Amino acid sequence: DVKVTQSSRYLVKRTGEKVFLECVQDMDHENMFWYRQDPGLGLRLIYFSYDVKMKEKGDIPEGYSVSREKKERFSLILESASTNQTSMYLCASSASGVSAEGYTFGSGTRLTVV
């Protein structure tokens, strides 16, 4: 089974802090994605990456950046956390030529910014 592991389940950070959310997948997938999930709004794509050192903006990249130095790891960075970034963050990965069953999510990181 593909495993997508997010390093933290719950995080509490202060406004203005720099925050790193880590995601690691173990199936040699090319594609990795970061979403945030808010009630009533569904999953919204923040950033994605189709290869090492490549990144593309999703629908809501403002206030975020990403890093993909290794194929298995995709990091989401909040340069200066704000309260409106309190949310559930989900990482996903897939192989190229994605099939739905190969698109796998991590368990999520619930971030609270106070």
Partner 1 sequence: GESVGLHLPTLSVQEGDNSIINCAYSNSASDYFIWYKQESGKGPQFIIDIRSNMDKRQGQRVTVLLNKTVKHLSLQIAATQPGDSAVYFCAEIFYGQNFVFGPGTRLSVLP
Catalog residues that contact partner 1 under the rule CB under 8 A: 4, 9, 31, 35, 38-45, 90, 97-98, 100-101, 103, 105-108
Please identify, using beta-carbon distances, which residue of 17 and 51 lies nearer to partner 1: 51
The CA-CA-CA angle for residues 28, 65, 19, to 5°, reads: 95
Q: How far is the CB of 1 from partner 1 (least distance, A)?
A: 11
Q: How far is the CB of 13 from partner 1 (least distance, A)?
A: 20
Enter the tokens of residue 28. 């040699």
Cβ(45)–Cβ(35) below 8 Å: yes
Q: Which residue has the tokens 């890093």?
A: 67
Please identify, using beta-carbon distances, which residue of 14 and 101 lies nearer to partner 1: 101
Q: How far is the CB of 53 from partner 1 (least distance, A)?
A: 19
Cβ(89)–Cβ(34) below 8 Å: yes
